[in-house]
Structure 1
């Protein structure tokens, strides 16, 4: 059984202001919850079908509530309700930690939660440990982002900052700053040595004017279609995957 107050609390975590207020986020599905349990991110509470809860090693002192499918539908953010849902504490990171890595992804105005989640997941695949987002990016602890990362959120640290100030400090720390532009130099055949930051802009507006001034090298993914009969651009998550792969490979 779950109280109306608890249902209201969980449903409120769809919104950033309530996640910030409570310091909690929602994760759904046994795979994602097990991934998070292997991290430093702390569980606060868990809800699920009885047979599923038995398969999860819930830490001592954590409240565990057995629910039926009807009640799970009331708290799930998925179109098809999950069989287990956990509340976790939002971790606090020091952005200075990002400079411990030689390759950082910076996102400028990427507001779609699905795109952000996919970029976090691909960063995990390519062993990029830090993503720095402008303050107008989607929130990394949005339920849609968490679901898209499939557990990668605990292996990749996501920071939020004023990108101009951050990139200024990064350049002083000897990072080369690359930006993705339609008119940049092709990524193929280039060598990407040393400490580097890849800046990706939003699909609609690209990299903002304020951030462009901190870009050292403009790069681009060349199109292979003939003439003007093709797409205007690539999805930002797809473009990020292609560029990160090439930068890691070179």
Structure 2
């Protein structure tokens, strides 16, 4: 493939349509590509400037003029390296393990929030995340950047969420749903394994998910703020799950 054709192809991967058609996505920036290489995910190509190349050594590394690499990437600044990466196959979701918390994301629309949620999951040791089919694509460049490498360590499964949650509940898994009206989480004894459901930024969980009647939990409010960002709420709730799990 000529340089011109490859440049055109990589730029096309800025769009979801072409990422899905080819089964690949972009990872950008030296730090994130280093995280990628450490993860062992299959890399199709790495396009780097001569300055960035020594930091991202790989059999598929190609050195390009700075101007071309800049055009390949979506970042406002610092497009020194752009990797084309194959998407993983995650069709199977195994039963929950002992002391395992899983996040279930329902209708998350903002790619920055999605990436931050993956980063939060990674921080608190959450290895798997479920997301509804209407969640923003996890391979959106803004989501990949916001995850800060956590996308390579946290398994994300895109599923028909109400059906999956119903199946998990039938199997005896405890379901917790973050809502404004729920019981204060600090007053509850949480199960050591379970699923924490987080709804969309604007509307919360969907009616189908609410109909499952999961245990509604909330974060106590002391001040006058109307609500918390979904990522901020996830962080506080994950911390309480972890605190209770580690308590003697």
TM-score computed with the length of structure 1 as normaliser = 0.92
Cα distance in 1, alignment partners of residues 170 and 22 from structure 2: 36
Unaligned 5+ segments in structure 1 are none
Q: Quote the residue 1:115 is aligned against.
A: 113
Secondary structure in structure 1 of the residue aligned to 2:93: helix
1:243 to 220, 237, 242: 237
Cα distance in 2, alignment partners of residues 83 and 29 from structure 1: 6
Q: Quote the residue 2:37 is aligned against.
A: 37
Unaligned 5+ segments in structure 2 are none
**Distance change in 2, residues 1:113/1:181 (3 Å):** same
Cα distance in 2, alignment partners of residues 185 and 8 from structure 1: 53
Cα distance in 1, alignment partners of residues 134 and 123 from structure 2: 25
Displacement after TM superposition at 1:98 (Å): 6.1
Question: 1:9-28 to 2 correspondence within 5 Å?
Answer: 9-28=9-28
Secondary structure in structure 1 of the residue aligned to 2:52: helix
- CA deviations over 1:162-201 (Å, ceiling 9, x no partner): 1111001111222100001111100113221232000000
Cα distance in 1, alignment partners of residues 74 and 47 from structure 2: 14
Cα distance in 2, alignment partners of residues 20 and 99 from structure 1: 29
Cα distance in 1, alignment partners of residues 202 and 95 from structure 2: 27
Cα distance in 1, alignment partners of residues 32 and 128 from structure 2: 20
Cα distance in 2, alignment partners of residues 141 and 83 from structure 1: 19
Secondary structure in structure 2 of the residue aligned to 1:194: coil
Q: Quote the residue 1:46 is aligned against.
A: 46
Displacement after TM superposition at 1:76 (Å): 1.1
Q: Which moved more, 1:209-218 or 1:103-112?
A: 209-218
TM-score computed with the length of structure 2 as normaliser = 0.92
Aligned 8 A contact 1:174 1:195 in 2: no
Q: Which moved more, 1:121-130 or 1:166-175?
A: 166-175
- CA deviations over 1:113-163 (Å, ceiling 9, x no partner): 000000000100000001100000011111111111111111100110111
Cα distance in 1, alignment partners of residues 25 and 33 from structure 2: 12
Secondary structure in structure 2 of the residue aligned to 1:41: coil
Cα distance in 2, alignment partners of residues 246 and 195 from structure 1: 13
Displacement after TM superposition at 1:100 (Å): 4.1
Cα distance in 1, alignment partners of residues 208 and 67 from structure 2: 49
Aligned 8 A contact 1:103 1:128 in 2: yes
Q: Quote the residue 2:82 is aligned against.
A: 85
Q: Which moved more, 1:158-167 or 1:30-39?
A: 30-39
Q: Which runs of 4+ in 1 moved over 4 A?
A: none
